[in-house]
Structure 1
Amino acid sequence: MTVPVRRLWVAVLCGYLAFGAALQVLPAYVPEKFGGGALASGTAVGIAFLATACGRPFAGWLADAGRSRPVVIAGGVLAAVGGLGQLLAPDLVMLLVARLVMGAGEAALFSAALPWVLSGARTSERGKLAGWFGLSMWGGLAVGPVLAGAVSGPIRLVWWMVIGLCVVSVGLVFTTRQDPSQLVSLGRIGGVRELVPVGVPLPGTILGLAAYCYGTVAALLVLRLRADHLGTDGFALSVFAGAFLLLRFAGSPLVDRYGGRVVAVSTVAVEVVALVVIARAGTPVAALVGTAFAGFGMALIYPACVSMTLDRVRGLRPGVSMGVMTSFWDLGVLAAGPLGGLIAERAGFPAAFLVAAGAGVACVVVLLRMPRRAVSPR
Structure 2
Amino acid sequence: MRRLWAAVLCGYLALGATLQELPGYLTGTFAAGPAITGLTVGAAFAATAVTRPFAGRAGDAGLARLVVMTGGALTAVAALGHLLAGNVVVLLVARLVMGAGEGALFSAALPWVLSRAPAGLRGRVTGWFGLSMWGGLACGPLLAVGFHELGGSTAVWWLVLALPLASTALVATTPRATGERTRLRPTSWRDLVPRGVGATGTCLGFAAYGYGTLTALLVLHLTVDGIGGENLGLAVFSVAFLVVRAAGSPLVDRLGGVRVAQAVLVVEAAGLVLLATAATSAVALAGAAVTGAGLSLIFPSTATVTLGRTGALRPGVAVGAITSCWDLGILAAGPLGGLVADRYGYRPAFLVAAGVALAAFALTATLTVPGRTGRRSGVSR
What is the TM-score of this pair, normalised by structure 2? 0.94
Cα distance in structure 2, aligned partners of 1:68 and 1:23: 27
Task: Pick one of 193, 211, 215 that aligns with 2:212.
Answer: 215
1:6-25 Cα deviation digits (max 9, x unpaired)? 11000000000111001000
Q: Which residue of 1 aligns with 2:180?
A: 182
Structure 2: tracts of 5 or more residues without a match:
373-381
Q: Which residue of 2 aligns with 1:256?
A: 253
Task: Pick one of 232, 236, 245 that aligns with 1:235.
Answer: 232
Question: Aligned partner of 2:6: which letter?
Answer: V
**Contact 1:263–1:301 (CA<8 Å) still a contact in 2?**
yes
Indicate yes or no: 2:299 matched with 1:302: yes
Indicate yes or no: 2:348 matched with 1:348: no
Q: Secondary structure at the match of 1:372?
A: coil
Q: Which residue of 2 aligns with 1:166?
A: 164
Structure 1: tracts of 5 or more residues without a match:
none
CA shift for structure 1 position 170? 0.1
Cα distance in structure 2, aligned partners of 1:230 and 1:83: 32
Q: Which residue of 2 aligns with 1:89?
A: 85
**Contact 2:120–2:253 (CA<8 Å) still a contact in 1?**
no
Indicate yes or no: 2:107 matched with 1:111: yes
Q: Which residue of 1 aligns with 2:135?
A: 139
1:157-213 Cα deviation digits (max 9, x unpaired)? 011111101000000001123224233x24466634311100111110010000001
- Change over 3 Å in CA distance of 1:265–1:342 after alignment to 2: same
**Contact 2:199–2:367 (CA<8 Å) still a contact in 1?**
no
CA shift for structure 1 position 122? 3.0
**Contact 1:313–1:375 (CA<8 Å) still a contact in 2?**
no
Task: Pick one of 307, 310, 313 that aligns with 2:310.
Answer: 313
Indicate yes or no: 2:44 matched with 1:51: no
**Contact 1:270–1:294 (CA<8 Å) still a contact in 2?**
yes
- Same amino acid, percent of matched pairs: 54
Cα distance in structure 2, aligned partners of 1:161 and 1:173: 19
**Contact 2:209–2:356 (CA<8 Å) still a contact in 1?**
yes
Cα distance in structure 1, aligned partners of 2:263 and 2:139: 24
Cα distance in structure 2, aligned partners of 1:187 and 1:365: 38
Q: Which residue of 2 aligns with 1:279?
A: 276
CA shift for structure 1 position 40? 1.3
CA shift for structure 1 position 316? 0.9
Q: Which residue of 1 aligns with 2:24?
A: 28
Cα distance in structure 2, aligned partners of 1:331 and 1:195: 15
Cα distance in structure 1, aligned partners of 2:225 and 2:195: 46
Cα distance in structure 1, aligned partners of 2:230 and 2:30: 21
Q: Which structure 2 residues correspond to residues 336-375 of structure 1 after superposition, within 5 A?
A: 336-367=333-364, 369-374=365-370
1:140-166 Cα deviation digits (max 9, x unpaired)? 101110111111222110111111010
Q: Which residue of 1 aligns with 2:379?
A: none
1:320-342 Cα deviation digits (max 9, x unpaired)? 11110100000000000011011
Question: Aligned partner of 1:297: which letter?
Answer: G
Q: Secondary structure at the match of 2:116?
A: coil
Cα distance in structure 1, aligned partners of 2:178 and 2:129: 22
CA shift for structure 1 position 132? 1.4
| Alpha-carbon RMSD | 1.4
How many residue pairs get aligned? The number is 370
Task: Pick one of 48, 62, 79 that aligns with 2:58.
Answer: 62
Q: Which moved more, 1:185-194 or 1:227-236?
A: 185-194
Cα distance in structure 1, aligned partners of 2:252 and 2:116: 22
Question: Aligned partner of 1:119: which letter?
Answer: S
Cα distance in structure 1, aligned partners of 2:140 and 2:225: 25
CA shift for structure 1 position 63? 1.1
Task: Pick one of 181, 193, 197 that aligns with 1:196.
Answer: 193
- Change over 3 Å in CA distance of 1:170–1:89 after alignment to 2: same
What is the TM-score of this pair, normalised by structure 1? 0.95
- Change over 3 Å in CA distance of 1:316–1:375 after alignment to 2: farther
- Change over 3 Å in CA distance of 1:190–1:331 after alignment to 2: closer
- Change over 3 Å in CA distance of 1:8–1:289 after alignment to 2: same
Question: Aligned partner of 1:340: which letter?
Answer: G
